[in-house]
Structure 1
Amino acid sequence: MVRCFIAVECNEAKIITGIRNVQGLLETTGGKLKHVEPENIHLTLKFLGEIEHNKADQVKKIIEEISFKPFWVKVEGVGVFPNLSRPRTVWAGVSKGKEELTEIFEEVDEKMFELGFDKERRRFHPHFTISRVRSGRNRESLVEELMRLQDHPFGEINVDHIELKKSVLTPSGPIYSTLAKSKQK
């Protein structure tokens, strides 16, 4: 069995630096947070979970056949899931390129459905997870900082492929590796 997901990598140094800066600002609130490591920042298109190796091979083939015209994604704004009253996941949002990402998500979701995976029931909300809130400690201070960051600009990345990622969970956090990449047009 292998734990997999399909994602857009965030390999733009300016955005990673901006995310690290925001993580630092959130840290000053005294909230209990677990930050995503810089090398693990990505935009999830589809989480597949634990799958058999032969199923992963089928997914690889499909991912390698997907191609699309490169486009720019503007990463902007900080938000939370599910809401500011109960923040659990802190993310950097997407203000440009949503339509293109949604089209790719829909194609991936449909192709994975054809392979036997469930269709995504929730509306697709493109984002890069940057931190997870571990407790309600100093929530008011954390929410105040999040409100100040709601329009924070991070920069743009050029999206020219997607990746099938393997995730190995360890006590110090997940380790991701690339199993397959889509074609570039």
Structure 2
Amino acid sequence: MRVFLAIELNEEVIDKLSVYQNYIRKHSIKGNFTDKDNFHITIKFIGEINEEKLKDIKDAMDTIRWNNPFVLRTEKIGCFPRKDKKIVWVGVGGETDKLNSLFKEVENVIYRKGFKKEDRPYSPHITIGREVILNRPLESIQNEVNITSVQFLVKELSLMESCRENGKLVYKTIYKKSFLES
């Protein structure tokens, strides 16, 4: 199974992201746009694992001593260039210092279970489209999109499975670690 650790989003955030995504889609020649049910903030991509490693990840999540929920908010639209295509995303702001601390703690507990640490700096975002080719520069589109910041409470970490169902990419929650517990 293919897994990753993520922060799931509430309906208000998902609905707002859908509006931004539709605007980008309108100004795209083509792209692979994220299904709204798959919007999330990745904390740690893990990849292919077996049942034994799945147990290790759950055990690692249980060792996280994080009992303070924190607030994030949606921000500007941006992109990561990939040759002539782009990965288009919505950035996150708010208590990003706490988000970065959570990322570091996750990296450490997962590393102790034998998983590799991330080589790249952590860059939290919500992907709304991959392999996007825009019909004009993103900067001009950014100036037109009315980004209304939406705040949301981060109160748990989810272990997600990435799989295909009837040809559709689906992210399923398979385990959660609540930040409301002591």
TM over 0.5, shorter chain = yes
2:54 pairs with 44, 53, 56, which one?
Answer: 56
RMSD: 2.1
Q: How high is the TM-score relative to the length of structure 2? A: 0.88
Task: Give the deviation of 1:46 after TM superposition.
Answer: 0.4
Q: How high is the TM-score relative to the length of structure 1? A: 0.86
Stretches of 4+ moved more than 3 A in 1? 146-149, 169-173
Provide the identity percentage: 28
The equivalent of 1:114 in structure 2 is: 112
SS across alignment from 1:5: strand
Q: Deviations over 1:12-41 (max 9, x none)?
A: x22211111111111221321221111111
Q: Which amino acid aligns with 1:76?
A: E
CA gap of 1:103–1:38, structure 2 versus 1, over 3 A, is same
The equivalent of 1:75 in structure 2 is: 74
Higher strand share: 2
Paired with 1:137 and 1:38, the residues of 2 have a C-alpha distance of 20
Contact 1:161 1:182 in 2 (8 A): yes
2:148 pairs with 138, 144, 153, which one?
Answer: 153
Matches within 5 A, 1:1-185: 2-11=1-10, 13-66=11-64, 67-82=66-81, 86-134=84-132, 136=133, 138=135, 140=136, 142=138, 144-149=140-145, 152-170=147-165, 172-183=167-178, 184-185=180-181
Q: Deviations over 1:146-178 (max 9, x none)?
A: 4544x8234011001101111113574321111
* Count, aligned residues: 179
Paired with 1:109 and 1:154, the residues of 2 have a C-alpha distance of 28
